[in-house]
């Protein structure tokens, strides 16, 4: 048992932080959106060049290190499917995939899916298993969305396409996906909260900084409790190799926390929080998107109850 980062882990986190300061950030996310809303190819490339794209498969590294990186990338609002590649794809298969990668279930067909219109590989789950599908022109079309990521709609039915990953891959996909979601939510919540805290340390009304009002402080402090809980749940699940119950717990907790943190940070920021000029929306709208993915809060909870206690509505 040890909650401290090892020296190697600290070095990874520091390096990715420096990389994100250079290549990512909320301004860059907004810029990309204004330019038509693609995936951040330069950031993906920088992450790959630094060896972070496949860090989970490197000697002495693993899912936990990928998770540490994913948190930093999310905190810096990277417009890249880092979790899908470095956590989900890396955990599912040893095959190198052509990125960007998008994740979808059969029930996502026709719905907005993160990165679908820009991905070159689709990791696709349905009742029969999981397939790795190279995407071709016409498989997906862009969807206009304000929820912080480039969204696309999958319009093919993908029947018979792609390499099947075999039995067991279906549950594994869901579990890794939940881990990626949980940590991306943590990064975005943390950024939303610190943006808000920083603002409330300087914004004055009634002759005092708003952050000195106790009614405000307690709401922010409660958000912090939620964020830290979500973070450690994700780290523990990552260290244990993404066991299904652990990732369902982490995702259930994080997705519920996400909507609360998004609501509170907006409320406490006042009108400026709704402007495009101010960074907050970059994270809060993403939080909504993330909290809806893969069955959302109730979906994660259903899985958790099934795994923890064998409960399901048919039993």
Partner 1 sequence: MEFDWSAEDEEHRREFREFLAAVLPGDWEEIAQHGPGSDAQAAFSYEFCARMAERGWLTQHWPTEYGGKDADPWRHSIIGEECWAIGEPRGPQYMNVNWIGPAIMRFGTDEQKRHHLPLISQGKVLWCQGFSEPDAGSDLAALRTRATRDGDDYVIDGSKIWTSYANHARYIILLVRTDPASKRTRGISVLLVPMSTPGIEVREIPSVVGDRYFHEVFFTAARVPVSCRLGEENAGWDVVSYALQFERVGAARYARAARTLDRLVAICRERGLTRDPLVIDRLAEARAICEAARLLNWRVIDQRAHGSPPTADTQLARVAGTNADRHVGELALEILGPEAMESGTFADANFRLAMTAGVAVGATEIQLNLIASRVLGLPNE
Contact positions vs partner 1 (CB under 8 A): 1-6, 9, 64, 197, 200-201, 208-209, 211-212, 214, 217-218, 220-222, 224-226, 228-230, 232-233, 235-236, 239-240, 249, 252-253, 256, 298, 300-302, 304-305, 308-309, 311-315
Nearer to partner 1, 73 or 304 (CB): 304
Tell me the two tokens of residue 70: 């994913």
Task: Report the nearest approach of partner 1 to the CB of residue 267 (Å).
Answer: 16
H helices of 6-110, in order, are: 7-23, 26-34, 41-49, 63-75, 82, 90-92
Q: How far is CA 305 from CA 182, 245, 257, 302, 311, in A?
A: 17, 9, 18, 5, 6
Task: Report the nearest approach of partner 1 to the CB of residue 96 (Å).
Answer: 27
Q: Distance of alpha carbon 56 from its chain centroid, rounded?
A: 16
Nearer to partner 1, 144 or 208 (CB): 208
Nearer to partner 1, 175 or 249 (CB): 249
Task: Report the nearest approach of partner 1 to the CB of residue 39 (Å).
Answer: 30
Nearer to partner 1, 127 or 314 (CB): 314
Count other Cβ atoms within 10 Å, centred on residue 288. 15
- What's the rounded Cα separation, in Å, for the pair 34 and 55? 31
- Residue 114, strand partner residues: 151
Task: Report the nearest approach of partner 1 to the CB of residue 242 (Å).
Answer: 13
Nearer to partner 1, 165 or 233 (CB): 233
Nearer to partner 1, 6 or 267 (CB): 6
Task: Report the nearest approach of partner 1 to the CB of residue 228 (Å).
Answer: 5
Q: What is the DSSP string of 226-270?
A: HHHHHHHHHHHHHHTT--HHHHHHHHHHHHHHHHHHHHHHHHHHG
Identify whether the C-beta of residue 72 lies closer than 8 Å to the C-beta of residue 11: no
Nearer to partner 1, 93 or 259 (CB): 259
- Residue 126, strand partner residues: 129
Task: Report the nearest approach of partner 1 to the CB of residue 277 (Å).
Answer: 24
- What's the rounded Cα separation, in Å, for the pair 224 and 92? 32
Task: Report the nearest approach of partner 1 to the CB of residue 200 (Å).
Answer: 7
């Amino acid at each position: 048992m040890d909650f401290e980062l090892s020296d190697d882990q600290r070095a990874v986190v520091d390096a990715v932080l420096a990389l994100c300061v250079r290549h990512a950030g909320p301004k860059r996310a907004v810029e990309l959106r204004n330019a038509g809303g693609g995936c951040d190819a330069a950031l993906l490339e920088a992450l790959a060049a630094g060896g972070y794209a496949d860090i989970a498969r490197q000697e002495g590294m693993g899912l936990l290190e990928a998770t540490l990186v994913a948190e930093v990338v999310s905190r810096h609002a990277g417009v890249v499917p880092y979790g899908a590649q470095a956590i989900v794809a890396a955990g599912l298969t040893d095959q190198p995939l052509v990125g960007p990668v998008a994740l979808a279930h059969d029930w996502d067909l026709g719905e907005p899916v993160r990165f679908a219109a820009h991905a070159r590989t689709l990791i696709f789950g349905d009742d029969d298993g999981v397939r790795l599908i190279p995407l071709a022109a016409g498989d997906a079309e862009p969807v206009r969305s304000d929820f912080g990521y480039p969204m696309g709609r999958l319009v093919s039915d993908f029947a018979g396409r792609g390499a099947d990953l075999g039995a067991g891959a279906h549950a594994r996909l869901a579990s890794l996906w939940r881990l990626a979601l949980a940590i991306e939510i943590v990064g975005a919540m943390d950024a939303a909260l610190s943006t808000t805290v920083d603002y409330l340390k300087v914004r004055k009304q009634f002759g005092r900084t708003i952050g000195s009002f106790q009614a405000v402080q307690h709401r922010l402090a409660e958000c912090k409790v939620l964020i830290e809980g979500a973070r450690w749940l994700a780290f523990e699940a990552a260290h244990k190799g993404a066991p299904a119950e652990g990732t369902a717990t982490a995702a259930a907790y994080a997705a519920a926390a996400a909507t609360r943190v998004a609501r509170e940070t907006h409320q406490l920021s006042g009108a400026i929080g709704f402007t495009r000029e101010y960074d907050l929306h970059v994270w809060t709208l993403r939080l909504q998107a993330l909290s809806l993915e893969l069955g959302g809060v109730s979906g994660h909870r259903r899985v958790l109850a099934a795994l923890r206690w064998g409960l399901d509505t048919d039993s």
